[in-house]
Structure 1
Amino acid sequence: MRSHHIMDSAGTLMGVALVIVTGVHLGGKASTSIADEMAFASAVLFLGSCGASHRAISKNDEWYEVVLADRLFAAGLLVLLGGVFSLWF
């Protein structure tokens, strides 16, 4: 059975987070909100998730995928959600 890795999802969301950082700076809201810092932090978490997923694939060790990559991915989602919500408040 082929296992599912979250590397593609984490990579896509890392790109989305970096687009949000760029959009906040181009929109002139960088000085009034923390959305760009939170989006950048989520991009770093997604990068860590990609790295852990790659390690799981290359070393055939599911611990990196099941524990580390999944937790970093979930943390990145929560931070990104908080960053998007901070634009409205």
Structure 2
Amino acid sequence: MWITKNFTTKEIWGQDMLLIDENEEQIRASVPRDIISQFDEVLKESDIIDLENFNVSKSNGTYRPIDGEYKIYVKNNTIVKQLSDQHLPIQGTYFPL
């Protein structure tokens, strides 16, 4: 997880992360800046979660940490549930250069 911001003005745009599903497919997810604090306690790096009630749209712009056609947008009513099994074997991520 990382904070995204305008490097010129230092204005925070949001918090981004990579999510990996059970098939090891990756997708970028973004939390808007005005609701970052709402998800601080439930979105933790390396946790295995169930995510419900979010938006999916096409990735746009030049900033793409992974090659992916779509992006998840977390909303204020998105539900995040930590799964009981936190020991699933997931390979490391791949970042294209």
Q: TM-score range by the shorter chain?
A: under 0.3
TM norm structure 2: 0.24
TM norm structure 1: 0.25
Of Structure 1 and Structure 2, the greater strand share is in 2
| More contact order relative to length (CA 8 Å, sep ≥ 6) | 1
Of Structure 1 and Structure 2, the greater helix share is in 1
